[in-house]
Amino acid sequence: MEQVFEFAGNHPLLVTALMISFFVLIFSEMRRKATGMVAVTPGDAVALINNDAIVVDLRSAESYLRGHIVNSKNIPFDELSAKKDSLNTSTPVIAVCDAGISSNKAVAMLRQSGFESAYSLKGGMNAWSQAGLPVVSGKKTKSKGKKS
């Protein structure tokens, strides 16, 4: 225990940074719980998709065509408030963006609009790809068959 106090005395900036990080983490978790936002991992998202959840890809059309989750709907974040009426409020919705930041904002907006089962994909498409889950490309590929 003496070593802890000695370290704290020798490195006050490090200890202060550690304490600030700890309180920011606690505060953000409490705020997330209070607002009811739920971020799901890619594995949990697969389970929701298997139970008929709708995946809404919030990225641009170009990003969507480069690679997206199977059967996802591309509704860019800017257009979501106008097109949210095309979604069923009783069906679970998983919002997906590149890194999971825009999807949190989208989930907050959807929940305020009556979507009780709206979720954000934690880490976005980056986490989905890192988990090795399938991504579909919108670009057409040429077949490598022989020409007659």
> Cα-flanking dihedrals φ and ψ of residue 145, to 5°?
-75, 165
Radius of gyration of the chain (CA): 21
The region that residue 67 occupies, defined by phi over 0 for left and psi between -120 and 50 for alpha, beta otherwise, is left
Distance in angstroms (rounded) separating the CA atoms of residues 96 and 63 = 12
Q: Which tokens is 139 given?
A: 């670009």
Question: Is residue 97 annotated as a catalytic residue, yes or no?
Answer: yes
Asked if 79 and 143 count as a contact pair (C-beta separation under 8 A), the reply is no
- The catalytic position among 87, 97, 107, 110 is 97
Distance in angstroms (rounded) separating the CA atoms of residues 56 and 86 = 11
Residues with a catalytic annotation lie at: 97
